[in-house]
């Protein structure tokens, strides 16, 4: 086996172990198949928590459409926000890691329009890497959409 393959297998093993250990650490971890998604093979893993910030990794083994892939990423942060009992979440930073995963630094708050720098630290900008203003998403506003998407995927899987 080549070095790249061994590194990939090691990273996947760590991710799987992390998923199996999520109950003891309370970190969120799930697969696209957990939601009946047959268009993509993806995994979301909350890697660490620090105050009201989480580091989340999303790995796509098989991508679906770009919109669906983006919704999967949003679902990952949504699930972490729910688990942590925060109403609002925001993407503070993102990058690709060496193993091909996408890493997100997400912030969580219960204040509707919290000041990003005051809430999460001066290292985070008001605008994202593309120059667009960062916006908060609401768990309660997304709940119906996420639950409907999950139900539709499950119904489609069991036809």
From the list 86, 92, 91, 78, the residue with the least C-alpha distance to 122 is 92
User: 3 pLDDT exceeds 50?
Assistant: no
pLDDT digits (tens, 9 = 90+) for 9-47: 333 334 443 454 444 468 999 998 887 777 889 999 999
Residues ≥6 apart with Cβ < 8 Å to 150: 35, 36
pTM of the predicted protein model: 0.77
d(CA 13, CA 9): 6
pLDDT digits (tens, 9 = 90+) for 77-99: 999 999 999 999 999 999 999 99
């Amino acid at each position: 086996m080549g070095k790249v393959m061994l590194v990939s297998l090691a990273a996947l093993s760590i991710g799987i172990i992390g998923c199996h250990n999520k109950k003891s650490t309370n970190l969120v971890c799930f697969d696209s198949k957990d939601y009946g998604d047959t268009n993509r093979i993806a995994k979301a893993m909350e890697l660490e928590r620090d105050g009201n910030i989480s580091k989340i990794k999303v790995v796509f083994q098989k991508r679906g459409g770009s919109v669906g892939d983006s919704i999967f990423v949003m679902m990952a942060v949504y699930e972490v926000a729910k688990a942590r009992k925060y109403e609002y979440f925001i993407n503070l930073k993102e990058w690709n890691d060496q193993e091909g995963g996408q890493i997100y630094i997400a912030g969580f708050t219960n204040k509707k329009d919290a000041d990003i720098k005051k809430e999460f630290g001066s290292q985070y900008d008001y605008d994202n890497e593309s120059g667009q203003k960062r916006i908060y998403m609401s768990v309660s506003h997304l709940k119906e959409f996420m639950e409907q998407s999950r139900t539709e995927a499950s119904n489609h899987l069991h036809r």
